[in-house]
Structures are given as structure tokens and as C-alpha cells.
A and B are shown apart, each in its own frame.
Chain A
Amino acid sequence: MAKKSVISNKSKEPDSQDSLTEHILNCSRSMISIINRDYVYEKVNSAFCSAHKIDNNCIVGKSLPEVWGENIFVEKIKNNIDSCFRGNTIRYEANFETPHYGNRYYEVVFRPLIKENGKITQLLAETFDVTDLKLSRQILSEMEEEFRKIETNLPIGFLRCEPDGTVIQANKAFLKIMECDEESEVAGLNLRDFYAEKGLFDIHLRQLFHEQRKTYGRVPLHTCKKNDIACRISGFIVTGETSTPPFIDFAFEDSSRELMLENRLLQAQKLETIGALAGGLAHDFNNILATIYGYSELLLDEFSGNKSATEKISRIISAATKAKSLTSQILTFSRQVEQQKIPVSIFEVLMETIGFVESGKPHNIHLASDVPATDAMVYADPTQLFRVFLNLMTNAIQAMETGGGTLSVSMTIVQGNSVRYELSRNIVADEYALITFEDTGIGMEESVIHRIFEPYFTTKEGGRGTGMGLSVVHGIVSEIEGDILVTSKPDKGTVFYLYLPVTRDYPMGTDISQEKLLLFITGNRYESRILSLALEKSGYKLVFASDTTVISKYISDELQKPDMVIYMDDSEEVTADNIRDIFAEHSIRIPLILITDNDQYITKEKLLNSGVAKQVLIKPVSLKEIHNAIQISLV
């Protein structure tokens, strides 16, 4: 029979070695017990009893199966005890309920008690509550996992350094920002090596030690691939125990995008300022030009018999006309002129331009287009839109003229929200038409890209380009609330991204056109087609003629007489003399507007002088110009 032994619940003053041992056992918070080979509890401590909320003598003498239940004993405990009696110290984790503590996690240790004769008849069982530890570990592990996820996905680079800047640790984001492939690349380097200005690093370090933590905006750095970037750097001094040197932790945020947006804003502001200045100048210029025109015309009258004189005076007029064209461009670029806008089919105008370019391009240039038919409209002047497309395509072709290449034009519709951060202005429409013009030409340096929309900035040698083209394009695009972006690599090529806001509500046609019938005389070239489309969309009725017979027919038709004739001087079929003769023959008093090239102005003077042409417009003609001319002539 096992000896019953009671370990008192009360802590008494220890008066002997035995009592001391008992006392210590009862002070322990672990559940301690002694178990014999019959799986019977010989001794249990206070903690054991409290946990089970029972008295000592209810456990001592009972077997484990009795206390824990046969199933649990056999499943979870027996093997461990047997192993222990073979001489092993067993440790295992258990999860069970006690009346006092409820469900907890425990670490159970069985230690064999080896007697002097080498036999093991008892084991010491210790059950230690590890619930808090376990939960903490779990939470910690979850937090670590979360942190790792965040750390990998956040684009913030973390760097831990020695106090002198030597790199100890770097995270993936840092490596990405610095364009390094491996952490090994940066190990052993100093943060100083990344700084573009070494002196700045020394200053920063000094400041950090002084203030413990500091943030530096837009620090210029070099990446592992020797590229220039800028980062917002935050530094914190991490103090360890006084004996260990502090670490310095750094957080890196790539501020390249910030810089890029700022540059774009500066550029836009620059253009605005230039625009305002230019607009004011152009206005004054028009006064001066009017004077020049006026006296020139008076002189023409005065010296009408003198061929030499009239020749020279005509050249003055021609030069003045060029000046007028230039001021008109400046006004367009600086957006000082509000364009007459109508809903225009982007697809139609783009295809028209592509056709025009295709017919006139050099043989070593290949034109590829991916333009799906769409009914997307933009609220703009079709002639201006044509000009934008044409200018961009012409530039592309010129960039490839020496070596040949491919010009790719494509169009796609994008959602306004998804391009919100691409554009340098607020989005104004749900959808945008994105038209890309890509060439494989000589490309541009970064410094050039920043300036291409500036007026008078050109990369073409001696007099070939005026440098107005792209600035006018920019002006037109801005005025219709679109945007234009560009990327380029020297010797690789350039891509222009043109964003046009798609308009869905078509404003009611204004009554300005009043259903007038226009006779449009043209050789039906591309530009004329755009203009005629524009006029039709504005509410005018158009009939067309490309040879003299048809013209005569329309002119002399009493019932369907046109209110106005628009003569596009673009074909050999119908000359100014033809027109004058027809008008004289039928004694026509219908007002006529002549649209011609600048250098043809002189020869067309006869049309003006004979009173046939009421207005002369110089190409390129905007919708507003021709519309005004029509209105003036119809009154």
C-alpha cells in the first residue's frame, strides 16, 4: 500500500529540511506531483489541488486514469509516463481544462526519480501554464506576418546602418528604389555612397545625432545603376543598451514622381506666362499690320500703272500676310483666341489625316495604324484637330527622314478615372480618347523633352522649323481641355500621348448658320474635306463643284441659288480667272470667299480687286475664321 503523504496547503514556517522541501513545493505555481509505476499519485502540491479545486487526500492514492479518465490517459499520458520510467525526461504540450483555471495550455515535464540503487520507481511531474506565452507567440507571429506583408508591398525602403552610415540591413523596397538586385550588393556599402552630394550626407548625419530623428525632403541620390533619383529620407537613431552602439534606421520614399509632377506644373506655368505676354504683343501687332496693309493697298492704287512698283508693294503685302499668320499662330498657342467648337468625330478626322499623310509620305517611312471605328466625339474645331494630328505625324516623319522607320498611330478609349494621375490637369470627362503617335526616329534627350512645347524652340537646323508647331498643338489641345504627354529615348524613338475628352451631350446647333446654302468649290483634297465637314456640322447646307461647268450650273440656278460661294484654291481645274469670267458672264452678285495659300495671295488680288471676292482667307483656316468671314459677307 502506498504511503499517504500530505503536503500541507498552508505555508508554515519551515522548521526542518523536510518541511522546507514541502514548503517550496507548495509555493510553486506549477502543478507538481509524484507518480509511481502503478500510475498512482503519491504526492501532489497545493497548486495541483487548487487547480482541481479539491482536497489533497482526494487525489493522493488515486490513479491517473481515475483522475483524468481512461481514454485521455491512454491517448495522451500513458506513453509519456512509460517512456519516462525507462529513464527519459519527457516534455510535451497539453491542452486541458481544470475546474479552477478553465481551458489552458500547459507544458508537461516528466522527470524520472533515480534512486541510489539505480532503480526508477517514481517520476516527478511538473505542469506549467504556458497559455500566455503561447498566445503571445501566436500574436507575435501574426504581427510579424502582417508586417512582412506590409513591408514587402509598401514602397518604402528601410535601411539599418551603423552610426557611421555602414549598411547592415536593407529591405526589398530599398533595393528596388536603388535598382539593386541583391542585398549583397549593398552590404558593406555606406549610405554616403548613395548620396549625390557627399557633403550633404555629413551634414545630415550631424543633424540626426543632434535631433535623434529627422526627415529630409528630396535628397538627390545615385542608384546602383548610376541613375539619378530623389528620395524623401527619414532617419531615426535607435539606441540600444548603453554598451552597444546605436543603430540608425532610415526610411526611403521615392519622390521622383513628385519631382516629375512639379516639373510639369512649372512647364505649364511657364507656357501660361509666355502665352499672356505673347497674346498682348500679338494684339498690338495687329494694329501695326493693319497700318502696313492699309498704306500698301493705297500705294497699289496710286502706282497701278507702274509694274515695278506694284511688284514691290505686293511683296510688302505678302510679308505682312506672313506676319499676320504668325500672330495668329501665337494667339492660338497662347490661347487668346476662343475657337469655334462643334462636336467632331475623332475617328473621321484622324482617318482623314492618316489618308492625307499616307498619300504624301516618303517611301522609306511605313505608316501603321490601329484605329478602331468609334463614334466618340470631341468638342473642338475640326480644322484645328486636323492640324494637331497632322503636326504630330509630320514631326514623327521628320524624325525618321534619314534612316526611315515606322510611324504607328493607334487609338483607344480610356476611363477618365484611370488616367486621373497621368494628366497634368483635372479630368473633365468620364472617357478620354487616347491617341498615340509612335515613331522609330532619332528621339530626344531628357533636357529637350522638357522644352518641346515652348514656342520658338526647335531642334531642326537653320530655318527649317519655326518652332511654333508643337506650341500651337499644345495650345489647341489645352483649349479643348485635353492633354498631351511625351516620352522619348535618343536613337530609339518618340511617343506622343494625346488625350481628348470624349463629349457625350451634343449641344443644340446654334442658329447662327441660318440654313444658308454654300457653294463649295474645291478639288476635294483632304483639308477641304475637313472644312466642308465642319461647315456642314455647323448647320450650313453645302453643294460641291470641282469644275467650271458645275459651277455655272449652280450659279445660274434661279431656284437653288447659293447664298455664298467658297472658293478653295487647291486645284488646276478651277483658276481665279475661271471664277472671274463665270461671275462676269452671269453678272453674279453672290458674295465669294477665297481661301488660298500665303504665296498665292498676289495672284489672287485680281479676284479681290474685281470685286468678286469679298474676303480672302489664308490657309490654314480655322472654323471660326471662315464662319466670321461668311457672317460678315452675308450681311
Chain B
Amino acid sequence: MPGILIVEDDNDLREMLKVSLLRRKYTVIEASNGKEAIIKFKPSMVNLVITDIIMPDEDGLKVIMRFRELKPTIKIIAISGGGKAGPGNYLNLARALGADEIFPKPFSINTLLQKIDEMLEPEQDPQ
């Protein structure tokens, strides 16, 4: 079962993401900030990371770069709070930092889930 790590400081939003992913039968690991995320990250268990870019404590961008280092094949979706959080074109920023996808908030959860399914499809090797 593919494991997904959620890094999001807003409790309600994080809970909503967890519930949605569990319904889809994914294994879910939660973290409410970057530091916690890095501690909880186990490369063998996590196939995809959903992380907010702007969070109070740990820099979301650093999180993305760190995960990419620790597991080069990992899939990363960055969710952004909108506004001048990222200068210029979101996609370029995401790409530069190692994220595969960007979803500006508020996003459609169904669209997000569809994208996750797509991204994890080939990874479904029996483990």
C-alpha cells in the first residue's frame, strides 16, 4: 500500500486530507510542520509527499529539497496558500525546488486525488 506523508500546519485541512486519502486505501503519515515531517520520514514507507509551501516554523521549500535528497524517486505535491507566497510562476518555482505538482488552495479534492492516483500508478509494485 503506497504511503503518503502529509505536511500541513492547518489542523482541519490536514485532517480532511487524511480522511480523503484513507478512504482511497492509502497509508497516511501526518506532520504539522517541516521539522516533524523530516523526523517522521521513512524513505521505504513513503511514496508521495503532500506539503504546504508556506508554514510558520520550518520552511516548506527546505522540506521539499530535503525529501528530494533523501529519496530521489519520491513524488512531491506542493500545496500553496496563494498570494505572493511564491514569486512569479508557481510551476517554475515548484520545479526548481523539486516538486512534481503544485495545487493552489483552495483546490478540488477530487482533482487532487485523481492526480495522486496517476502519480502513484506505476509505483504499485508488490511489496
Contact = CB atoms under 8 A, between A and B. Distances in A.
B16 A295 contact: yes
A102 to B, nearest CB: 82
Given A289-B106, A324-B106, A338-B84, A512 B89 contact: yes
B72 interface: no
Contacts, number: 92
A192 B37 CA distance: 74
B83 A294 contact: no
Contact of B105 (A287, A611, A632): A287
A340 B89 CA distance: 8
B101 A294 contact: no
A324 B82 CA distance: 11
A282 B92 CA distance: 23
A157 to B, nearest CB: 49
Contacts of B12: 287-288, 291
A277 interface: no
A7 to B, nearest CB: 102
Nearest to A613: B111
A32 B32 CA distance: 115
A614 B83 contact: no
Given A288-B10, A291-B10, A632-B91, A297 B109 contact: yes
A279 interface: yes
A282 B81 CA distance: 9
Contacts of B31: none
B82 A298 contact: no
Given A287-B10, A608-B110, A628-B90, A298 B105 contact: no
Interface residues of A, number: 36
A143 interface: no
Nearest to A624: B89
Interface in A247-296: 279, 282-284, 286-295
A216 to B, nearest CB: 45
Interface residues of B, number: 34
A616 interface: yes
Given A295-B16, A337-B82, A320 B106 contact: yes
Contacts of A288: 10, 12-13
Contacts of B79: 290
A378 interface: no
Interface string A605-635: 0001101001110000000000110011001
Given A290-B106, A298-B109, A632-B91, A336 B13 contact: no
Contacts of A283: 54, 81-83, 85
B16 A282 contact: no
A331 interface: yes
B108 A338 contact: no
B87 interface: yes
Interface string B9-31: 01011011101100100000000
Contacts of A279: 83-84
B122 interface: no
Contacts of A295: 16, 19
A628 B85 CA distance: 15
A614 B91 contact: no
A334 to B, nearest CB: 9
Contacts of A632: 91, 101-103
B43 interface: no
A241 B44 CA distance: 104
Given A283-B85, A286-B82, A298 B107 contact: no
Interface string A210-236: 000000000000000000000000000
Interface string B51-81: 0001000000000000000000000000101
Contact of A291 (B13, B88, B91, B104): B13
Interface in A417-463: none
Nearest to A287: B10
A297 B82 CA distance: 21
Contacts of A336: 83-84
A298 B81 CA distance: 21
B24 to A, nearest CB: 11
B91 A331 contact: no
A293 B106 contact: yes
Nearest to A335: B84
A297 B109 CA distance: 7
B23 A290 contact: no
A285 to B, nearest CB: 9
A291 B10 CA distance: 9
Given A290-B79, A291-B16, A632-B103, 6 more contacts: A286-B81, A286-B106, A290-B16, A297-B109, A298-B19, A608-B108
The 7 closest A-B pairs by CB, nearest first: A289-B106, A290-B106, A294-B16, A286-B105, A336-B83, A294-B109, A287-B10
10 contacts: A282-B83, A283-B54, A290-B105, A295-B16, A298-B19, A324-B106, A331-B82, A338-B87, A632-B101, A635-B101
Interface of A: 279, 282-284, 286-295, 297-298, 320, 324, 327, 331, 336-338, 340, 512, 608-609, 611, 614-616, 627-628, 631-632, 635
